[in-house]
Structure 1
Amino acid sequence: MTAILNMRAVVASLALMACTAAPVLAEQVLPLRQITVTGDARTEVAPDRASITLGVTVEAESAAEAMRTVSQDMAAVIDRLAAGGIAPEDMQTQRISVDPVWSGGRYDNGSGKRVITGFVASNTLLVRVRDLGNLGAILDDVLDAGANEFRGLSFGVADRAAVLDQIRGDAVRDAIRKARQLAEAADMTLGPVRSISEHGGGGGVPMMAMEMARSGDVPVQAGSLSFEHSVTVVFDLLEPTSE
């Protein structure tokens, strides 16, 4: 019986302690106050690289003749590029194709069967130009060597990662600036960062269409590349400290 009474006393004491501690815990657990802001950054960079997609297209009566001629012409283009200082690793074949050429409506009027009148062969090459000062001369050289098809021209920078690293930091600093301004306007103190989320970055210009006309070196204006980056940052908001 004595043991039972002692156990009841212990339980009662624990219950009393829990009731006493509850208001203290309630005072310590406060609603979490946070602010979420988006930081943005943008910069303009002069390009130092270019990529050209060019090709040779030839039509002949037979597939073999068309492919033989297009291969000879492309070999001449590659030789001219190499003579102009383009390294082998900066030239990459993109596509080789041979397709039939059909007459009129693709059907013979008498028999209703398809009629092939010849074949067209094509060889497409991607060229990376690391010296923009030679870009116009290179374009003129390949036209002179036999290239008769251009798929486009795009510009870039050699160290893209360095540019993105810079504007990534700028975007975070922009988020901190905005958050501090909002906290001060709300008579709060900006607390520590809780999370940072990136929304990616981009840069570059759309591919330029190339015309086949030529007069001396092809005139090319590289302009500048625009890079952008944004981040979302979550901060704690604290009550202002009393002086």
Structure 2
Amino acid sequence: MKSMTHTAALLIAFVTFNVSAQEQKPIPQINVSGEGKVKVVPDQAMISVSVDTKGNKAADVKKQNDETVERVIQAIKKHKLPKENVQTQRISLNPVYDYEKKKYSYNATQTIEILLKDLNQYDALMESLVDAGINRISNVEFRSSKIEQHKSEARKQAMLEAKKKADDYVSVLGQKVGKALTISDNTQVYYPQPMYEMKAMAMGGSDVAPRETLAVGEISVTANVSVSFILE
């Protein structure tokens, strides 16, 4: 009786082992990557400008900086930009020690970010800001108002390229590409910077033709994926 029980247990263990071995059998697959790229003419820009003021007395430096920023904000209002598209980003007042003169001076900075949704206003806006007193352009970032739509198209192109790669690889093997096992999104968020020229902003009179100082060009919206396909 014990012998039969022992034999049955061994048989069950053997069957279980075979089932487990079959379940762990590697699935034939191919791993490929794909990239999708959509060229877009930007229709927006995020502009970051600053007013830097230096002096020997903290109170005077802060006051002068505030007065300049007030003129800058008034200049922005003249272009009738929506309030929600203009934001003070950073305010600072820092002591700076001069080791040679052995005394402190002060540096006040205020940074304003402007979302410009009409690039045709760029030159006129920048001239107004410089005339009002901004003395540093921190950043100009091109954007598209339809960025999500372009990202979706880029992702689809990336998947199509990955599938085509897989088809090319297995076409000489007499096999077919089956369902996707895994899909990994390797896309990195990146907004290209524009090439722009900051010229002397002296207006020289109202009859002067508007200058073009910004080469808009195109931005690339890119998506990258890694895909594992089953081989049939």
Q: Does residue 158 of the first structure (1) align with residue 145 of the second (2)?
A: yes
Q: Does residue 62 of the first structure (1) align with residue 52 of the second (2)?
A: no
In the TM superposition, what is the alpha-carbon distance from 1:142 to its structure 2 partner? 0.7
Amino acid at match of 1:72: E
**Aligned equivalents of 2:63, 2:129: Cα separation in 1:** 19
The CA deviation string for residues 125-150 of structure 1, in whole angstroms up to 9 with x for no partner, is 11111111101110011111121222
Q: Does residue 93 of the first structure (1) align with residue 81 of the second (2)?
A: no
**Aligned equivalents of 2:197, 2:139: Cα separation in 1:** 6
Root-mean-square deviation (Å): 3.2
Q: What SS is found at the alignment partner of 2:217?
A: coil
Q: Residue 218 of structure 2 corresponds to which residue in structure 1?
A: 224
**Aligned equivalents of 1:28, 1:51: Cα separation in 2:** 55
Give yes or no for contact 1:150–1:210 (8 Å, CA) kept in 2. Answer: no
**Aligned equivalents of 1:9, 1:71: Cα separation in 2:** 96
Q: Residue 199 of structure 1 corresponds to which residue in structure 2?
A: 186
Out of 38, 47, 54, the residue aligned to residue 43 of structure 1 is: 38
Q: What SS is found at the alignment partner of 1:185?
A: coil
**Aligned equivalents of 2:65, 2:4: Cα separation in 1:** 101
Q: Residue 190 of structure 1 corresponds to which residue in structure 2?
A: 177
Q: Residue 169 of structure 1 corresponds to which residue in structure 2?
A: 156
In the TM superposition, what is the alpha-carbon distance from 1:202 to its structure 2 partner? 3.9
**Aligned equivalents of 2:114, 2:218: Cα separation in 1:** 20
**Bigger-Rg structure (1/2):** 1
Q: Residue 241 of structure 1 corresponds to which residue in structure 2?
A: none
Amino acid at match of 1:219: T
- May I ask how many residue pairs the two structures share in their alignment? 224
Q: Residue 126 of structure 2 corresponds to which residue in structure 1?
A: 139
Amino acid at match of 2:85: D
Q: Residue 205 of structure 2 corresponds to which residue in structure 1?
A: none
In the TM superposition, what is the alpha-carbon distance from 1:13 to its structure 2 partner? 9.6
- Do the aligned partners of residues 148 and 237 (structure 1) sit closer, same or farther apart at CA in structure 2, a change above 3 Å counting? same
- Do the aligned partners of residues 119 and 15 (structure 1) sit closer, same or farther apart at CA in structure 2, a change above 3 Å counting? closer
Out of 110, 115, 119, the residue aligned to residue 103 of structure 2 is: 115
Q: Residue 124 of structure 1 corresponds to which residue in structure 2?
A: 111
Give yes or no for contact 1:149–1:212 (8 Å, CA) kept in 2. Answer: no
**Aligned equivalents of 1:182, 1:141: Cα separation in 2:** 58
In the TM superposition, what is the alpha-carbon distance from 1:211 to its structure 2 partner? 3.6
**TM-score of the pair, normalised by structure 1:** 0.77
Structure 1 stretches of 5 or more lacking a match?
A: 109-113, 239-243
**Aligned equivalents of 1:82, 1:234: Cα separation in 2:** 54
